[in-house]
Amino acid sequence: MTESKGERRRVVVTGVGAVTPIGLDVREMWSSMKEGRCGVGPVEGFELKDLYIHIAAEIKGFDPAKHVASKKIQYGDRYSWFAGRAAAEAWAQAGLPIPYGNPYRAACIFGSGAGGFNTIETAYHDLFIKEKKATNPLTLLRIIGSSAAAHVGIEYGIKGPTFATCSACSTATHAISIGVDYIRHGVADVAMTGASEAVLTHGSMRTWQAMRVLSPEGCFPFSKKRNGTVLGEGAGALVLESLEHAQARGATILAELKGVGMSSDSKDMVNPDIDGPRVAMEMAIADAGLKPEDIDYLNAHGTATALNDVNETNAIKMVFGDHARKLAISSTKSMMGHLLGAGGAVEAIASIKAMQEGWVPPTIGLTEPDPKCDLDYVPNVGRSAKVRYVMSNSFAFGGLNAVLVFGPPPG
């Protein structure tokens, strides 16, 4: 039940977890970012057949029997495997008990843009190509977009609000935003939040290829040579708590989640607007009680599509004014591809790490910037910098925008 609080509670991050094409945990992912490592390469996980796009950002060497401790989650779809792995890392870092001691005061908001895509493709292949009479008995449970959320909630004994968000590339950021709202207003004390995605299949690639948004060469955000994004897979998880709850149990606080901004372009399914992203960024800064010039690093949505990168650049200029020229901006998609629904969580984690270590990750492959993208995108090599407040942008198909602002742990 909702507890009435006189004023909204502060929200902190006490655990993070990630599974990405450049690392199966946060430590490995961050180390790869420091090296400027690229996770994009030739597809190995499925037959290319008639595809003319031959690259993706795959997670290689992932063995659910080895990398997913829960036997129950091992029976799930690949996207649930990634969710289980990332959630386990975040929960362990947070140091919370299993099962959680006050289960109705915990929430699990864990999304996916596509759900069990691997299972769907396997089932259709079995039915229509192999002409089997039935699919695997677990097919239905594997494909549901809320399966990962349910799996994770079961794993940690979470009995409060548990469900998935689905908003394309803003899925994870919306999930985190809902977790923030629940904690701020007393619905929960703890929230497992994030998203997972695993859509690297032949059928999925065919659908993306048909939209003409995939690059056959690589992911080059803000670059003159950019010609599309690169599909990736993975998961990101953040454990959120009220400040009081975290302090009462002596938890190590990684960051404070200070601001959230959400908007919709309400314009077009595929052509991004400027006002929607602008308003979402402005709302996040205002919600954090900050000024634009307080932001030191911005993890851009930066998909490397022709229109998105210019629009995001222009929206940043509108929000930050003169400070836009001083702001360190990068797209970590240049290293790990576009993780779709999971991208916002992984990028939020990268933003927190930048703040913790005073080092901003690069936009690799940026040898010649687009003249219309003329801000500081930290080209090719990361750098040390004073980083106190950070912003993470997620802008999705349909004009669905969500932005987060993080600050240092409360003193």
Cβ burial of 386 (10 Å; 0-12, 13-18, 19+) is exposed
Q: Are residues 167 and 314 in the same domain?
A: no
What is the torsion angle, in degrees rounded to the nearest 10, for the CA atoms of residue 15, residue 22, residue 236 and residue 73?
-100
CA distances from 290 to 100, 161, 193 (A): 34, 30, 24
For residues 50 and 194, membership in a common domain is answered with yes
- The pLDDT tens digits for 235-293 are 999 999 999 999 999 999 999 999 999 999 999 998 889 999 999 999 999 999 999 99
Same domain flag for 37 and 126:
yes
With b meaning 16 or more CB within 10 Å and e meaning fewer, what string describes 153-176? bbbbebbbbbbbbbbbbbbbbbbb
Instruction: Look at residue 3 and tell me whether its pLDDT is greater than 90.
Output: no
Q: Is position 256 within any domain? A: no
Residue that terminates a domain, selected from 197, 220, 248: 248
Give pLDDT, residue 35: 98
Domain final position from 191, 220, 248 = 248
User: 23 and 159 share a domain?
Assistant: yes
The answer to whether residue 80 sits within a structural domain is: yes
For residue 254, is it within any domain?
no
pLDDT value at position 4? 43
- Residue 7 pLDDT: 84
**Is 332 within the bounds of a domain?**
yes
Q: Is residue 3 part of a domain?
A: no
Looking at the structure of the chain, the number of domains it has is 2
Same domain, 189 and 287: no
pLDDT for 15: 99
**Which residue in the block uniquely carries the two structure tokens 């659908």?**
207
Structure confidence by residue, pLDDT tens digits, 300-351: 999 999 999 999 999 999 999 999 999 999 999 999 999 999 999 999 999 9
Q: 71-87, pLDDT tens digit by residue?
A: 999 999 999 999 999 99
> Are 206 and 286 in the same domain?
no
How much is the mean pLDDT over the chain?
A: 96
Question: Prior bond to 371 cis, omega within 30?
Answer: no
For residues 208 and 299, state if they share a domain.
no
DSSP 293-335: GGEEEEE------HHHHHHHHHHHHHHHGGGGGT-EEE-THHH
What is the model's pLDDT at position 1? 30
Q: Which of 74, 236, 242, 249 is nearest to 155 (CA)?
A: 74
Residues labelled catalytic? 169, 301, 338
- Statement to judge: residues 188 and 301 lie in one domain: no
| Among candidate residues 248, 273, 289, the one where a domain is terminated | 248
384 and 293 in one domain?
Answer: yes
Instruction: Report CA 64 to chain centroid distance, whole Å.
Output: 21
CATH value at residue 301: 3.40.47.10
Domain-embedded: residue 38: yes
Confidence of residue 156 (pLDDT cuts 50, 70, 90): very high
Whole domain around residue 342: which residue ranges? 263-407
Answer yes or no: do 299 and 402 share one domain.
yes
Is the same domain home to 229 and 271?
A: no
271 with 353, same domain? yes
2 occurs within a structural domain: no
